[in-house]
């Protein structure tokens, strides 16, 4: 059986208009191509996932949600890289704060990482037990020294209106959208994750954490 052996290499220079390089990348260890716009496409799964392995219990201070971290490894953020998180959350009769969720970027995978996209609930929780599903989607609009991340947030809870996981009166859904300021996305070994501050007397249980990043 015939085999072919190729020497791996780094990203080649951007080719001329209408041309493309195809090469074995020496950091991703996978076949990659670079087009005439400088965009890299890698022939691998290109998906990073994570999840929780037990109930996550954030309190009344900033908390890095276990299972939300997505590590790039040797890959880099690109225009179009997309992150998705889904959280299944319950609250007790405690907790009357205004929750704040943040998408954080850094190398620690802790609250030491920098918040780049912030979602602040429009109404405070109330002292009523409730459950909700939170979905966060984010996409890289720009990368490099002046990277930009845009995010959308949706919370859907059981009790209608301004009680429990409160939403504006007569609704069960809250939707928010935010765009980051520019920041440097070229840091090696970048980790992207989600933090939450449940606020005053926060007593949540996050039963499910589903995290995914693709387009890297």
Domain boundaries, the chain: 8-44, 46-214
Pick the CATH number of 46-214 from 2.60.120, 1.10.1740, 1.20.1440, 1.10.3470: 2.60.120
- Residue 16 in contact with residue 184, Cβ under 8 Å? no
Q: Is 3 exposed, middle or buried (0-12, 13-18, 19+ CB in 10 A)?
A: exposed
- In this structure, what token pair is assigned to residue 47? 């998906």
- Residue 95 in contact with residue 202, Cβ under 8 Å? yes
pLDDT for the residue numbered 92: 93
What does pLDDT average to in each consecutive run of 10 residues of the chain (216 residues)?
A: 84 92 82 87 78 93 96 84 97 93 97 98 93 97 96 94 86 95 93 95 94 90
| Buried/exposed 30-41: b ≥16 CB within 10 Å, e otherwise | eebbbeeeeebe
pLDDT for the residue numbered 28: 67
* Residue 51: count of CB within 10 angstroms of its CB: 13
pLDDT for the residue numbered 72: 87
Give 126's contacts (C-beta < 8 A, 6+ positions apart): 96, 162, 163, 164, 166
Give 152's contacts (C-beta < 8 A, 6+ positions apart): 136, 137, 138, 175, 176, 177
pTM to 2 decimals?
0.81
């Amino acid at each position: 059986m015939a085999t072919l052996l190729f020497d791996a290499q780094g990203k080649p220079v951007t080719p001329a208009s209408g041309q493309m390089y195809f090469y074995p990348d020496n950091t991703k260890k996978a076949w990659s191509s670079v087009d005439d716009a400088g965009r890299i496409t890698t022939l691998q799964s290109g998906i990073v996932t994570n999840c929780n392995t037990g109930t996550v219990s954030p309190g009344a201070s900033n908390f890095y949600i276990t299972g939300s971290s997505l590590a790039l490894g040797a890959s880099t953020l690109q225009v179009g890289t997309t992150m998705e998180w889904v959280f299944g959350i319950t609250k007790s009769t405690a907790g009357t704060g205004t929750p704040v969720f943040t998408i954080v970027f850094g190398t620690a995978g802790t609250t030491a990482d920098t918040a780049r996209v912030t979602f602040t609930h429009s109404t405070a929780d109330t002292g009523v037990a409730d459950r909700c599903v939170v979905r966060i989607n984010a996409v890289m609009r720009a990368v490099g020294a002046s990277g930009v991340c845009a995010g959308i947030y949706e919370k859907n809870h059981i009790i209608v209106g301004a009680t429990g996981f409160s939403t504006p009166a007569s609704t069960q859904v809250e939707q928010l959208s935010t765009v980051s300021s520019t920041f440097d996305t070229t840091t090696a070994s970048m980790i992207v994750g989600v933090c939450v501050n449940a606020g005053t007397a926060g007593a949540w249980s996050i039963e499910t954490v589903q995290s995914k990043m693709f387009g890297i």
